[in-house]
């Protein structure tokens, strides 16, 4: 009986030991699992912190880039606004000039003067602005032609108002076309009556500062062009005026070149003669220089020989 009790007690103790070992193993595994979970959570936390920091940095960089881009856009908008404002003011100035007949006429005269100065330069012998005729009329300008004491007058006219109305109000195009025709016809007749007389050539130039109006006359009002030719008035635009001035300048250059041809020839002959005499002087000077050079060389050789003789005498003891 005592032996059975000991065996049972031993079994119980063994079972308790096994239970303790099992419990310890379970606790150990749970501890390892907890540690792994803690490490994973720490890694996740670190990863989240890194991601958060990177996202924060990226967001900051993106924000700075957006701010910089917006600043550039505001600056560009400011400059464009200033440019548009300046352009608007310029358009207002142009509109104020074009809407006033006197200012429009002054602008046409300025354009004509500028074109003439560009191609003819400041040449009073060719062109003179605001030329007063003996009949009291003042032309916008006059060309002085070679071999003639008569002038070729030029006057600027800018019939713009009715042309713009014709373009902007197509329903009344026929009316404004008739009014424009009257304007141009009157300008042709005024130029013919004022600037063609005994003091001038039998022609005059009517300058139209607008290429559009000039092309309209050629295309739609050809009879006005023929009327101008019949009255010895040459219609011209900025483009054709450049050609006219270029031809007049070339003609003047050819005239003065031919006029002074004999004097130029005499001057060339004189220069040739002077050049010949100068060549003779250079040749003589060269010979004299060669002679002097040879004489200097001979003197140098003589000095060298004397120096050698003196050296020999000194070495022989003849001189003390």
The closest alpha carbon to 195, from 245, 137, 234, 243, belongs to: 137
Residue 72 belongs to some domain of the structure? no
- Hey, which residues does 235 pair with through a beta bridge? 206
Backbone angles phi, psi at 148, to 5 degrees: -155, 140
Contacts of residue 156, defined as CB under 8 A and 6 or more positions apart, other chains included, come to 105, 108, 109, 111, 112, 140, 207, 208, 209
In this structure, the answer to whether residues 273 and 242 fall within a common structural domain is no
In this structure, the answer to whether residues 109 and 244 fall within a common structural domain is yes
Nearest-angstrom CA–CA distance, 195 and 201:
9
Q: What is the CATH number of the domain that holds 182?
A: 3.40.50
Cβ atoms of 246 and 119 within 8 Å: the answer is yes
Count up the domains in the chain and report the number. Answer: 2
Give the mean pLDDT of 220-231.
89
In this structure, the answer to whether residues 179 and 272 fall within a common structural domain is no
DSSP state of 16: H
Q: pLDDT tens digits, residue range 274-311?
A: 787 787 777 887 777 777 777 777 777 777 777 777 77
Nearest-angstrom CA–CA distance, 260 and 105:
41
Q: pLDDT tens digits, residue range 112-139?
A: 888 888 887 777 778 888 889 988 899 9
pLDDT band at 186 (very low <50, low <70, confident <90, very high): very high
Task: Please give the mean pLDDT across all residues of the chain.
Answer: 76
pLDDT band at 232 (very low <50, low <70, confident <90, very high): very high
Name the 3-class secondary structure at 204: strand
In this structure, the answer to whether residues 169 and 273 fall within a common structural domain is no
């Amino acid at each position: 009986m005592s032996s059975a009790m000991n065996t049972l007690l031993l079994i119980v103790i063994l079972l308790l030991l096994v239970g303790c070992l099992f419990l310890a193993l379970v606790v150990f595994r749970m501890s390892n699992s907890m540690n792994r979970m803690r490490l994973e959570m720490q890694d996740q936390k670190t990863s989240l912190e890194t991601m958060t920091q990177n996202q924060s940095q990226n967001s900051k960089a993106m924000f700075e880039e957006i701010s910089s881009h917006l600043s550039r856009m505001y600056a560009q908008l400011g400059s464009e606004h200033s440019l548009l404002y300046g352009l608007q003011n310029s358009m207002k100035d142009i509109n104020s000039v074009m809407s006033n007949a006197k200012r429009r006429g002054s602008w046409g005269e300025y354009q004509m003067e500028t074109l003439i100065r560009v191609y003819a330069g400041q040449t009073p012998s060719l062109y003179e602005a605001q030329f007063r005729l003996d009949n009291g009329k003042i032309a916008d300008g006059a060309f002085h032609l070679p071999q003639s004491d008569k002038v070729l007058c030029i006057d600027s006219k800018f019939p713009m108002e009715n042309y713009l109305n014709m373009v902007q109000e197509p329903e009344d195009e026929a009316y404004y076309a008739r009014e424009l025709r009257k304007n141009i016809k009157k300008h042709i007749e005024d130029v013919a009556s004022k600037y063609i007389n005994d003091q001038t050539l039998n022609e005059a130039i009517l300058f139209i500062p607008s290429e559009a109006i000039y092309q309209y006359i050629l295309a739609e009002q050809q009879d006005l062009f023929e009327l101008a030719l019949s009255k010895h008035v040459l219609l011209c635009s900025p483009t054709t005026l450049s050609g006219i001035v270029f031809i007049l300048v070339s003609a003047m250059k050819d005239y003065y070149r031919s006029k002074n041809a004999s004097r130029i020839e005499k001057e060339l002959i004189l220069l040739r003669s002077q050049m010949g005499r100068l060549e003779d002087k250079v040749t003589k000077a060269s010979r004299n220089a060669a002679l002097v050079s040879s004489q200097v060389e001979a003197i140098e050789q003589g000095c060298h020989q004397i120096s050698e003789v003196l050296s020999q005498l000194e070495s022989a003891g003849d001189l003390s």
